[in-house]
Amino acid sequence: MVDDTRSIPHASLLEVRGLTKIFGQLKACDHIDLTIAKGEIHALLGENGAGKSTLVKMLFGSLEPASGEIRWKGEPVRIGNPADARRLGIGMVFQHFSLFEALTAAENIALALDRDTPIGDIAERARRVSAAYGLPLDPGALVGDLSVGERQRIEIIRCLLQEPELIILDEPTSVLTPQEADKLFETLERLRAEGKAILYISHRLEEVKRMCDKATVLRHGKVVGHCDPRGETASSLARMMVGSEVQKLVREAPAGGASREAVLEIRGLSRHPAGPFSMPLRDISLTVRAGEVIGVAGVAGNGQGEFFEAVSGEALQETAGMVRIRGKDVGRLGISARRQLGAAFVPEERLGHGAVPAMVLSSNLLLSRYRTDAKAFLSAFGIVRSDIVINASRRVVETMDVRKSAENPEAAALSGGNLQKFIIGRELDRQPALMIVNQPTWGVDAGAAARIRQALIDLARAGSAVLVISQDLDELFEISDAIAVMHNGTMSPPLPLAEATYEKVGLLMGGAEPERAGPSDVAGAA
Amino acid sequence: MRIELIKRPQRSFVFSLLSPFIALALTMIAGAIMFSLLGKNPLTALYYYFIDPLRAVWQLHELAIKAAPLIFIGVGLAVSFRSNNWNIGAEGQFIAGAIAGSILPVLYPELEFWWVLPLMLVMGFAGGAAYGAIPAILKTRFNTNEILTSLMLVYVAQLFLDWIVRGPWRDPKGYNFPQTISFGDAATMPELMPMAGRANWGFALAILVAVVLWFVMERTLKGFEVKVLGQSPRAGRFAGFSSRRMVFFAFLLSGGLAGLAGINEVSGAIGRLQPVISPGYGFTAIIVAFLGRLNPVGVIFAALLLALTYLGGEAAQTSLQLSDKVVRAFQGILLFFVLACDTLILYRIRLVRTRGAAREVSDGHA
């Protein structure tokens, strides 16, 4: 399948000239030029909203360009839909997997292939591809039982079975442990050696520097530069992406040690799985003291969502003592009562959990604060004092530098980063004694992420307790005073930052016992 | 060839407002076609249907009488639908309210005090709410589908009413007609302007209820809670609202208002209980709620329009010798176009030519 690609070495495989896409007033992509050669790993860099997804969707036929030209092996082509793209030899692995949890890996692969291929053949071909590229996978396994890394492998194998010459990977490592990511890199290098081209979308500058031969940087829908990432530093790449120097985080160690007030105490927190695909919680204990940031690392789907629900009070505990906030047992109290004790919560999902998409920002401010700020926001008979709520919302917008198109737009109209700044700002505006955040910068651009992280550190230094659940290890190492790891519904004792290394945390994320990760780790146990 | 609905990036504000009027115009066209197929001159038929019933003052009073129950039920359903609870059984709750409210005038006709009528209204509300609580309990306890349970309970209520007016509550001096005794003066809803027509204070009460509920929905925390839980249950839980309690709120309110409509109807327009007390108000109110854009004030206008289809149907029976089933057909056509217009505001249609390969299965990605 690689014969023809060998015959014309170094010729450009995909050439894009002046590609433009306009949504209403916004030029999502503005005269994009891009050339990808065979046997090349090409990085596509850019902040959220820079136009990466729009560009990729045009290449994969999900969006039609307004103008411009796509050349495939020198020939101009029109890619009308994903089936056209696949016929040409373009494959794509999406950031958000589209797999059916109740089907097996092979059945999921079969759904994307020709209807009349027997399932046995598909399983056999999948097995062969998985062996050839170092992607271990059991085709008969139910997807619901697989880890995120394994699910990604299904997507990759599904893509490879269509024998593409260009593979587009959208933020592939955002859900992987460092060890899993290393395995992925080996696979990608093998593909490169075969002459396949890879378009690699990421905002992790370190891995782009390590793997990619070329990079194209987008900002506000325009190409701001083509470069060789190996010749750049992470900060020079970031500068190209953001257009200015990314703000450095300022952080000092908290003073006072163990004498500080324990604001959040979790003792033996267990929870039965809420559904067939959710994780139970197993005997979790953790203390978060005033003035410190505790990070919770872990691969997605190891119980972080369930843990957040339990601690926030969206799900109640069996006994009141399992969760204590500022010395009060709250296990049987709901989220509003926990908020009134000074706690604030930011869930992972912004639209539909942290905010109602079709409601305006001021209504979304009221969403989490109608009880804690009842005196200010409500008058008799529960009548909402909308002028005061709108003022508070304006204050949050200004403090957090939320960029928006209208005075009081619907939440869904904001970009991910700006909405996240608003949701975090909405809680910070209350000056909470305890802040619990799940994935604070997931899908958020570098500028907004830096701002959010600094805000969390500042909150802790002002004397609040902060608990951050994140899959982004760089982030946790940047802001935490200690890092605990969730695996399979359990939580390791927190490792003080001085003792934590990527390797130790990575091993814990993969399920190694804390004892084997290093003897000193147990010292942090509560 | 297959038809796909594709979500529009944003909905048009202008068309959201115009949608009910477009639906109405399309209904007129479809109605004209229907009348010509029935062998009637469509223009004459539409005239008898929509203009003739509005020519005299007493006819406007009849319109108010028909509109009042539709407003009561329609605003309750609008709130219930906004909270994503699908109460389809208002017809049954209407009957339950009528029966509960009739306890006083049927069993204690000797009571002649000013408080009899207010108490009947309260009991009517309570009866409808209690009947609405059944699907709410089934939904929260056993996770049953409230559309099915509330709909099936309509037939239970209808048969119970039929039994009670033929059996225990039958008027002993009523020549064996299946009906209760006529309500006394203290149990009768007074007329607004007795000299001009039959319309009673129930219509004014219905308008008042609609305006109050509009205020609750737009300005208060309760209305906010209804909208949040209706649009995004998970965000509602994050806010600390309880979906379970909202199910009860929606069913008790919409059931109670349907019950209020029921007792208002029997204490005003009818004056006694009989086997059939509603020409399908509980079902027509579903159309009213949607045509009024699930907005309590919009419901008032939609109710007046649907009330007109009832009057027009009666007029068409006498002047054109058309079956009264035409009313149902008309209302059905209207609901169809209302929902179709709303769908096309949110989605656009794309025709996809099917090719041999099944490759498109995976297009779901995009």
End-to-end CA distance of chain A: 57
Q: Does A367 contact B at CB distance below 8 Å? A: yes
Q: At which residue do the structure tokens 């001021």 appear? A: A362
State phi, psi for B155 to the nearest 5 degrees.
-70, -35
Q: Is the pLDDT of residue A526 over 50?
A: no
Chain A partners within 8 Å of B219 (Cβ): 383-384, 386
Residue B362: the pLDDT is: 41
State the burial class of residue A270 (Cβ atoms within 10 Å of its Cβ: 0-12, 13-18, 19+): middle
Amino acid at B193: M
User: Is the model's pLDDT at A123 over the cut of 60?
Assistant: yes
Distances B118 to A450, B115, B123 between C-alpha atoms, Å = 63, 5, 9
B6 contact A CB<8A:
no
Digitized pLDDT (tens) for each residue of chain B, 366 residues in all: 678 888 777 677 788 888 888 998 999 999 899 889 988 898 988 888 888 889 889 999 999 999 999 999 999 999 999 999 999 999 999 999 999 999 999 999 998 899 999 999 999 999 999 999 999 999 999 999 999 999 999 999 999 999 999 999 999 988 889 999 999 999 999 998 888 888 899 999 999 999 999 999 999 999 999 999 999 999 999 999 999 999 999 999 999 999 999 999 999 999 999 999 999 999 999 999 998 989 999 999 999 999 998 898 888 888 888 887 888 888 889 889 988 988 888 888 887 775 544 444 444 343
Tell me if B358 and A384 make a contact (CB, 8 A cut-off): no
Residues B240 and B347 in one domain: no
Identity of residue A390: I
Residue B230's SS3 state is helix
**Summary mean pLDDT of chain A:** 84
Evaluate whether residue B57 is within a structural domain. Answer: no
**B201 with B280, same domain?**
yes
By the 10 Å C-beta count (0-12 exposed, 13-18 middle, 19+ buried), B255 is classed as buried
> Residue A475 class from Cβ within 10 Å (0-12 exposed, 13-18 middle, 19+ buried)?
buried
Are A211 and A185 spatial neighbours (Cβ–Cβ below 8 Å)? yes
Displacement of CA B12 from its chain's centroid (Å): 27
Q: Same structural domain for residues B313 and B348?
A: no
Chain B environment of A355 (Cβ under 8 Å): 235
pLDDT at A150: 80
CB of B356 within 8 Å of a chain A CB? The answer is no
Residue A261 CA, distance from chain mean position: 32
In whole angstroms, how far apart are CA B257 and each of A353, B115, B121?
32, 20, 10
Yes or no, beta carbons of B237 and A355 under 8 Å apart: no
Task: Please list every residue in chain A whose beta carbon sits closer than 8 Å to the beta carbon of residue B362.
Answer: 82, 98, 111-112
In the predicted structure, residue A245 carries a pLDDT above the cut 60: no
CB interface of A with B, residues 324-343, below 8 Å: 334-336, 339
CB contact under 8 A, B220 and A381: yes
Same domain, B217 and B346: no
CATH of residue B203's domain is: 1.10.3470
Q: Is residue B61 part of a domain?
A: no
* Residue from A84, A359, A365, A367 to probe the interface with B (highest B Cβ count within 10 Å): A367
d(CA B146, CA A227): 60
The region, left, alpha or beta by phi > 0 then psi within -120 to 50, assigned to residue A192 is alpha
pLDDT of residue A302: 83
- Residue A267 is encoded by which pair of tokens? 């003792």
**Residue spans of alpha helices (H) in A380-445:** 386-400, 416-428
Task: Classify the C-alpha dihedral B128-B131-B137-B139 as positive or negative.
Answer: negative
What was the pLDDT predicted at B339?
A: 87
ipTM: 0.84
Say if residues B250 and B87 touch (Cβ distance below 8 Å): yes
Q: Which residues of B touch A163 (CB under 8 A)?
A: none
Nearest CA in chain A to B10: A413
- Could you tell me if A26 lies within 8 Å of chain B, comparing CB atoms? no
Contact with chain A for residue B365, Cβ under 8 A: yes
Asked if the Cβ–Cβ distance from B231 to A23 is below 8 Å, we say no
Look at A363 and B224 and tell me if their CB atoms are within 8 Å. Answer: yes
Q: For the ranges A110-119, A164-173, A373-382, B305-314, which has the lowest average pLDDT?
A: A110-119
**Is B145 found in the same domain as B77?**
yes
* Residue A283 backbone dihedrals phi, psi, to 5 degrees: 50, 60
For residue B234, which residues of chain A lie inside 8 Å, CB to CB? 349, 352-353
Distance of CA A3 to the CA centre of its chain: 38
| Cross-chain CB nearest to A98 (options B222, B232, B364) | B364
The pLDDT-based confidence of A201 (bands split at 50, 70, 90) is confident
Chain A contacts of B354, Cβ < 8 Å? none
Give per-residue pLDDT as tens, A433-455: 999 999 998 777 777 888 899 99
What pLDDT sits at residue A1?
A: 41
What DSSP assignment string belongs to A177-226?
-HHHHHHHHHHHHHHHHTT-EEEEE-S-HHHHHHH-SEEEEEETTEEEEE
**B40's tokens:** 């009637």
Give the span between the Cα atoms of B342 and B289, in whole angstroms: 13
**Domains, chain A, ranges and CATH?**
3-89+163-242 (3.40.50.300), 254-342+433-526 (3.40.50.300), 352-431 (no CATH)
Q: Shortest CA distance to A232 belongs to which of A201, A199, A210, A202?
A: A210
CB A411 within 8 A of CB A364: yes
Alpha-carbon gap: B145 to the closest alpha carbon of chain A (Å): 20
B270 belongs to a structural domain? yes
Q: Are residues B299 and B342 in the same domain?
A: no
Bridging pattern class, strands A465-469 and A293-297: parallel
A60/B366 touch (CB, cutoff 8 Å), yes or no: yes
Chain centroid to Cα A129, Å, comes to 28
How far apart are the C-alpha atoms of A457 and A462, rounded to whole Å? 9
d(CA A118, CA A220): 46
Residue the block writes with tokens 């009213």 = B288
Q: Cβ contacts of residue B22 below 8 Å, gap of 6+?
A: B15, B337, B341
Decide: helix, strand or coil at residue A110: helix
pLDDT confidence band for A329 (50 / 70 / 90)? very high
- Please tell me whether residues B1 and B77 are part of one structural domain: no
Eight-class DSSP state of A497? T
Same domain, B109 and B6: no
B49 lies in some domain: no
Which residue range(s) make up the domain with B26?
1-40+325-355
B185 CB neighbour count, 10 Å cutoff: 9
CA nearest to B366 within chain A: A62
Hey, are the CB atoms on B220 and A384 less than 8 Å from each other?
yes
B198 located within any domain = yes
Tell whether B303 and B330 lie within a shared domain.
no
Q: Is residue B225 part of a domain?
A: yes
| A87-101, A118-132, A288-302, B350-364: range with highest mean pLDDT | A288-302
Which chain A residue lies closest to B365 (C-alpha atoms)?
A98
Do B238 and A314 count as a contact with CB atoms less than 8 A apart? yes
Chain A residue nearest residue B11, CA to CA: A358
**B156 and B268 share a domain?**
yes
Distance, in Å, from the CA atom of A469 to the CA atom of A483, rounded to the nearest integer, reads: 10
Residue B255 to residue B261: CA distance in whole angstroms: 10
Q: Is B152 helix (H, G, I), strand (E, B) or coil?
A: helix
Cβ-based contacts of B360 with chain A (< 8 Å):
81, 83
Same domain, B226 and B339: no
pLDDT tens string A455-492: 999 999 999 999 999 988 888 988 999 999 998 899 99
Cα separation, B285 vs B124, in Å, equals 18
pLDDT at A299 over 90: no
Please tell me the distance from the alpha carbon of residue B169 to that of residue B160, in angstroms, as a whole number.
12
Q: Which of B240, B364, B365 sits opposite A335 (nearest CB)?
A: B240
Instruction: Specify which residues B347 forms β-bridges with.
Output: B7
Three-state SS at B10: coil
Question: Per-residue pLDDT tens for A46-72?
Answer: 776 678 888 888 898 888 888 889 999
In a domain, B192, yes or no: yes
Q: Are strands A222-227 and A262-271 parallel, antiparallel or unpaired?
A: unpaired
Is residue B55 situated within a structural domain?
A: no
What is the amino acid identity at position A205?
L
**Which positions in chain B touch A115 (Cβ < 8 Å)?**
357-358, 361
Pick among B143, B215, B221 to test the A interface (most A CBs inside 10 A):
B221
CA distance A14 to A40: 11
The rounded distance, in Å, linking the Cα atoms of B221 and B230 is 14
Total number of domains constituting chain B: 2
* pLDDT bracket for residue A519 (50, 70, 90): very low
Interface check for B231 against chain A (CB to CB < 8 A): the answer is yes
Residues of A in contact with B224 (CB under 8 A): 363, 366, 370, 384
Is A104 or B246 the better-scoring residue by pLDDT? B246
**C-alpha distances in angstroms, B246 versus A314, A349, B230?**
16, 23, 9
Residue A250's pLDDT is what? Answer: 65
Both B90 and B3 in one domain: the answer is: no
B237 CB near a chain A CB, below 8 Å?
yes
- Average pLDDT of span A302-319: 92
Q: How far is B229 from chain A (nearest CA, A)?
A: 9
